[in-house]
Amino acid sequence: MTTVSTRQDTTALLDRFRDVRARTDRLVRDLTPEDQTPQSMTTASPVKWHRAHTTWFFEEFVLGADPGYRPRDPAFRYLFNSYYETVGERHPRAARGQVTRPGVAEVAAYRADVEQQVADRVCAGTLDESSLALVELGCHHEEQHQELLLTDFKHLLSGNVIQPAHVDRAADPDPTAEPAPLRWMHVPGGVTRVGDAGEGFAFDNERPRHRVWLEDVELAGRQVTNAEWTEFIADGAYEQPDLWLSDGWATLQSQGWRAPGYWRHDEDEGWTTFTLSGRRPVVAAEPVCHISFFEADAFARWAGYRLPTEHEWEAWAASGQEVRGGLLDPERCHPDLAREVTLGNVWEWTASAYLPYPGFVTAPGAVGEYNGKFMNDQHVLRGASAVTPPEHPRITYRNFFPADSRWVFAGLRLAR
């Protein structure tokens, strides 16, 4: 699944493990049991489930590698396995929100117990290199679920007529704030190497590093803003079929899309959007967020540009200095004003389908199901978002979602 650095410093791994686990707890500190139980749709999961599933991952793949290990509760293997067919039967995904027991307290106890056992084994040095690599993988896995937990919880909360706030974000920026001006950045073409080649951690889908041919290209220095998106809306783009992919137009019509996800238009307030701090006015200088691939693609066409491929994106990101911004701050959970960042604010839809890199191989065993089996009819996003943990992103990172997904913190960057 992953290569762990061979000279793994056990102490560093343990610190990392504890930090990651602690942040999950931090993120849910203010959530009631009621908040943590339901799911808003099949593709989103309950908060409680995210907490238990990330724990199950360590239990199944790290503790479970020990033939003498006796699972805390056999039912948990059924309830908290996400999609690992090799592990066995699973609770139906669409019914995750109907599991009332174990409750939040039991899940917390499950977390503490497994955490302690993993930590003990790491300290005691009884884990082999493969298990240590799985501890590291489990940390990255849990970070992914930290982002999903917030993404899913935002979706759940948004359906509530009360439109409640989850975090007490400081006041919104001055609505007259200006985004960074749009600057085009040249990326020279030619045979280019992409994919992870480092000694550090990367997911299997970022490997192997390989050559691709690129033509010269220019990428926008910053992401598309809400100000630009309101022009797109005002120009009637949601009513013009020729701007849209055929599937996109059908989805737009069946879903009644007229603006990004969570946006609403009122006579009095104009455009507002739902945030984890409650419903607020759309801020013009922020990057647009919660758009589908279909909308990103239509916007680029409308603007006279196009989306970059994932390889163009990676070549661009590798060509300059890495600038981070707009990553997970548990007190905010919302994009910063649009400026020139490489990684952060919103995930960026690319023109690329999510396919295996040449020579891609999955890990043996159940953990081989981690990424590879989803390489069908999904679209690659690059970068990171305002709910991505700061340790998590890389410029070789390949995120992926179906083309109609809007609950993800995703926007776009233009290319030409």
Residues in contact with a copy of itself by CB under 8 A are 32-40, 48, 75, 78-79, 83, 85-86, 91, 95, 97-104, 156-157, 159-162, 164, 191, 210-213, 215, 241-242, 244-249, 294, 351-353, 355-356, 358-359, 368-369, 373-377, 403
Least CB distance from residue 19 to a copy of itself, whole Å? 28
Least CB distance from residue 233 to a copy of itself, whole Å? 19
Q: With the C-alpha atoms ordered 83, 375, 314, 184, is the resulting torsion angle positive or negative?
A: negative
Contact 59, 51 (CB under 8 A): no
Name the H helices within 92-206: 104-124, 129-158
Least CB distance from residue 103 to a copy of itself, whole Å? 4
Q: Of 159 and 236, which has the nearer Cβ to a copy of itself?
A: 159
Q: Of 308 and 393, which has the nearer Cβ to a copy of itself?
A: 308
Q: DSSP code of 23?
A: H
Q: Return the bridge partners of 217, or none.
A: 187
Taking each continuous run of H as one helix and of E as one strand, the counts in the chain are: 10, 11
Q: Of 70 and 101, which has the nearer Cβ to a copy of itself?
A: 101
Nearest 5°: phi and psi at 70? Answer: -110, 115
Q: Which residues contact 271 (CB under 8 A, 6 or more apart)?
A: 226, 230, 259, 263, 264, 265, 281, 282
Q: With the C-alpha atoms ordered 74, 80, 85, 86, is the resulting torsion angle positive or negative?
A: negative
Q: Of 35 and 136, which has the nearer Cβ to a copy of itself?
A: 35
Cα atoms in the 13 Å half-sphere on the side-chain side of 31:
26
Buried b (16+ CB within 10 A) or exposed e, 214-234: beebbbbbbbbbbbbbbebbe
Q: Of 388 and 396, which has the nearer Cβ to a copy of itself?
A: 396
Least CB distance from residue 189 to a copy of itself, whole Å? 9
Q: Of 36 and 342, which has the nearer Cβ to a copy of itself?
A: 36
Tokens of 53: 């599933």
Q: Which of 167, 133, 188 is nearest to 17 (CA)?
A: 133
Q: Of 254 and 376, which has the nearer Cβ to a copy of itself?
A: 376
Contact 317, 382 (CB under 8 A): yes
Q: Of 92 and 181, which has the nearer Cβ to a copy of itself?
A: 92
Query: Which uninterrupted H or E stretch holds 90?
Result: none
**Looking only at Cα atoms, what is the longest distance across the chain?**
65
Residues making up the chain, counted from first to last: 416
Contact 380, 194 (CB under 8 A): no
Question: Which amino acid is it at 146?
Answer: Q
Q: Of 248 and 326, which has the nearer Cβ to a copy of itself?
A: 248
Least CB distance from residue 261 to a copy of itself, whole Å? 16
Least CB distance from residue 7 to a copy of itself, whole Å? 31
Least CB distance from residue 102 to a copy of itself, whole Å? 8
Least CB distance from residue 178 to a copy of itself, whole Å? 34
Q: DSSP code of 392?
A: S
Q: Of 1 and 283, which has the nearer Cβ to a copy of itself?
A: 1
Least CB distance from residue 110 to a copy of itself, whole Å? 13
Q: In what order do the strands lie in the sheet with 278-281?
A: 263-266, 270-275, 278-281
Q: Which of 333, 315, 305 is nearest to 382 (CA)?
A: 315
Least CB distance from residue 391 to a copy of itself, whole Å? 28
